[in-house]
Amino acid sequence: MKSELAAALKACRTAFLGVGLITFVINILYLTGSLFMLEVYDRVIPSRSVATLVGLCVLALMLYAFQGVLDVIRGRVLGRIGVALDEQLSGRIYGAIVRLPLRARAAGDGLQPARDLDHVRGFLSGLGPTALFDLPWIPFYLALCFLFHPLIGATALIGGLALAAVAFITDRLTGALVMDTVAGLAGRNALTEAGRRNAEVLQAMAMGGRLQAMWGEANRRYVRSQQRANDVIGGFGAASKVFRVALQSAVLAVGAYLVINQQATAGIIIASSILTARALAPVELAIAHWKGFVQARQGWRRLRELLARLPEPSAGMALPKPHQSLVVEALSLMPPGERRVVVQEVSFALKAGQGLGIVGASGSGKTSLVRAIVGAWAPARGLVRLDGAALEQWPHEDRGGHVGYLPQDVELFQGTVAQNIARFHEKPAPADIIAAAQAAGVHDLILRFPEGYETQIGEGGASLSAGQRQRVALARALYGDPFLVVLDEPSSNLDGEGEQALNRAILGVRARGGIAIVVAHRAATLAGVDVVLVMQEGRLRSFGPKDEVLGAALARPPGPPAVTLAAVGERPA
């Protein structure tokens, strides 16, 4: 199966062919200097013809100008190839970045794929690719040197082989160093982001100094690995420059020897020196940009593996809007990237108009269960069905419109209140936004904001309080009247008024024929549900009408009201 990256490159094949054609013309024009010197030394000077010299100068200037224009065009075409690849792949890469935490354990700062794409685009836009396009022309220049004289060609060939060996050693030594540099950068950025997001905790508990020390150590590791890579590449780059200059002198010496023995002309000395320099210039340029090449190559490999691991969801066939039931069949779950089962063989069914409360001790699998119900986590075994169709059968965008989800850790996005409620649809109907806000009981609160629904909430909803963020997120979950609404600890930051609005929202979902699922630790949060499911150590302990399930559990000696439901999963049936 052809990879998406290969397909993206294939779409640029016409541009690459154009670059190849331009490279062909440029390398022919590179002969201008050699031929000019050959004519000057072998024709102009012996004939003392000023007219010939002027004509050669004019012709050479025109060819140099044409070569310069083509070189600029080649660079711009390569830059646009990089931009075209970015445009084709950036959306897909972003989708993979946001889906990766749902499939694998988080590693680094999670943004490495975006940086890999930047490395690929940056390499294509730099001088590195020009060296790669020029490398196949080395035999052509060496062949010309052999035509001048076999001894000159042999000298140039030996020099070329030596520089090729330098390039090979550079590649072998820098691959692991560049990988260490990338890993060090990811670790440092992860600590930076964690500190930025938890600035209040660091300040309140005086943890900033200790986290700064950890960051400093991670930064030192990154800088040291980067320095080692730069030292290796810089050292070999300097060696290649010195060797090329020495080789030019060697070619001049060989040419002088041939002239002394009347086996070559004076023009051949200079022409062969220029040709040798031109033949070896791509190798030197490649070594100078080897770090960028290695980064791009490694990034390309990682991107290929990432996209193969996370194929784009198939569109699927559109299904009717669900309106009947939710069925969970023998559901077992493992956290992404782990082999530990956290939910085992859970089965239950709900009909339209029902409300389910999920209770249990901390760590009993409640949050994991609802993550699978909304399709965030893929089941290890079992199925979740809406109106008989497994979640995987629904087109992703359609299924998202039928599901409302309020996670335990509420996260809003930078933008306006209206954009967050409308799930960032391009052209949402204002009436639908207001209806969702009214259903969540947050409409009047939003109107008191400085700019109402157009208030910018900042990154992560920083300008709102925790309770306000939770109520706006509840409105987002209710936007579009989804059939299934899942709320995980929805009252954790709510006051009395907010809890009342929450219960009205749950009853509203049921009244319009939807299904509401609420994960709760407090009895007040379950006021709007009629069915309760008790989780214990990842298994379904009991399921049935609320009064029966809670009545049986609360018949035991009660604990404090705030913890009674949390302890349900710890008592024997």
Question: For 15-72, how does the pLDDT look when each residue is reduced to its tens digit (9 = 90+)?
Answer: 889 999 999 999 889 888 888 888 888 888 888 888 888 998 999 999 999 999 999 9
**If we measure between CA atoms, which residue out of 326, 338, 489, 314 comes closest to residue 397?**
314
Q: Are 546 and 350 in contact (CB under 8 A)?
A: no
* Within a domain: 525: yes
| CATH number of the structural domain spanning residue 186 | 1.20.1560.10
128 phi, psi to nearest 5 deg: -55, -50
Strand intervals (E) in 268-361: 325-333, 343-351, 355-360
Q: What is the pLDDT of residue 256?
A: 84
Distance separating alpha carbons of residues 229 and 222, to the nearest angstrom? 11
* Statement to judge: residues 279 and 422 lie in one domain: no
CA–CA separation, 491 vs 439, rounded Å?
16
Mean per-residue pLDDT, 366-385: 91
In angstroms, the Cα distances linking 422 to 419, 447, 475 are: 5, 16, 9
The amino acid at residue 334 is: M
Element (H, E) at 532: strand 531-536
Measured from the Cβ of residue 444, the count of other Cβ atoms closer than 10 Å reads: 10
Q: Which range has the worst mean pLDDT, 107-111, 147-151, 175-179, 515-519?
A: 107-111
Report whether pLDDT(565) > 70. no
Q: Note whether 380 and 528 are same-domain residues.
A: yes
> Which of 138, 154, 156 lies closest to 286 in space, CA to CA?
138
Whether the per-residue pLDDT at 333 is higher than 60: the answer is yes
Domains of the chain: total: 2
Q: What angle do CA 200, 202, 205 make, to 5 degrees?
A: 100
Which pLDDT tens digit goes with each residue over 494-537? Answer: 877 888 888 999 999 999 999 999 998 777 788 889 999 999 99
Q: Is 316 part of any domain?
A: no
Q: Evaluate whether residue 318 is within a structural domain.
A: no
> 453 and 433 in contact (C-beta within 8 Å)?
yes
Are residues 466 and 496 located together in one domain of the fold? yes
Question: Residue-wise over 539-557: b if at least 16 C-beta within 10 A, else e?
Answer: ebbbbeebeebbeebeeee
339 with 486, same domain?
Answer: yes
**Separation between Cα atoms, residue 392 and residue 390, nearest integer Å:** 5
Mean pLDDT across 274-292: 80
Phi-psi region of 39 (alpha: psi -120 to 50; beta: other; left: phi over 0): alpha
Assigned domain for 122 exists: yes
Domain C-terminal end among 309, 341, 361: 309
Q: Please say whether the dihedral angle defined by the alpha carbons of residues 327, 331, 337 and 342, taken in this order, is positive or negative.
A: positive
Cα–Cα nearest to 407, from 378, 364, 375? 375
The answer to whether residues 439 and 382 belong to one domain is: yes
> 429 is in which domain, residue-wise?
325-554
Pair 340, 229 in one domain: no
Which tokens is 377 given? 């986590």
pLDDT at 568 over 60: no
**pTM, whole model, 2 decimals?**
0.73
Same domain, 269 and 368: no
pLDDT at 566: 46
pLDDT in tens, 176-197: 777 788 778 878 887 887 777 7
Residue type present at position 98: V
User: Which of 178-182, 304-308, 557-561 has the least mean pLDDT?
Assistant: 557-561
With bands split at pLDDT 50, 70 and 90, how would you rate the model's confidence at 105? Answer: low
Q: Are strands 531-536 and 515-519 parallel, antiparallel or unpaired?
A: unpaired
Q: Tell me, yes or no, whether 352 and 501 share the same domain.
A: yes
Residue 556: pLDDT band (50, 70, 90) is: low
pLDDT of residue 109: 64
CA distances from 221 to 137, 180, 227, 509 (A): 41, 9, 10, 53
Same domain, 305 and 333: no
Per-residue pLDDT band at 315 (split at 50, 70, 90): low
Burial environment of residue 320 by CB neighbours within 10 A (0 to 12, 13 to 18, 19 or more):
exposed
Cβ neighbours around 195 below 10 Å, total = 17
Q: Tell me the pLDDT tens digit for each residue of 229-243.
A: 888 878 877 877 787
Q: What angle do CA 472, 477, 481 make, to 5 degrees?
A: 120
Q: Tell me how many degrees the CA angle 225-226-227 measures, rounded to the nearest 5.
A: 90
Contacts 24+ apart (CB under 8 A), 10-19: 11/84, 11/88, 12/81, 12/84, 12/85, 15/77, 15/80, 15/81, 15/84, 16/81, 18/77, 19/74, 19/77, 19/78, 19/81, 19/129, 19/133
Tell me, yes or no, whether 461 and 371 share the same domain.
yes
Least confident segment among 177-186, 218-227, 334-343, 381-390: 177-186
In this prediction, residue 147 has a pLDDT band, given cuts at 50, 70 and 90, of: confident
> What gap in Å lies between CA 152 and CA 274, rounded to an integer?
12
DSSP at 356: E
Whether residue 570 has pLDDT greater than 50: no
Asked if 275 and 374 sit in the same domain, the reply is no
Residue 107 confidence (pLDDT): 60
Which parts of 40-149 fold into alpha helices (H)?
Answer: 45-47, 50-99, 112-125, 128-134, 138-148
pLDDT at 90 over 50: yes
pLDDT confidence bin for 430, thresholds 50/70/90: very high
What per-residue confidence (pLDDT) applies to 561?
40
Residue pLDDT, tens place only, 455-485: 998 877 777 888 888 899 999 999 999 999 9
The verdict on residue 131 lying in a domain is yes
Q: How is the beta sheet containing 355-360 ordered, strand by strand?
A: 403-406, 484-488, 515-519, 355-360, 531-536, 539-545
Percentage of residues in the chain having pLDDT higher than 70: 94
What number of other Cβ atoms are within 10 A of residue 482's Cβ?
22
Say if residue 279 is in the same domain as residue 332: no
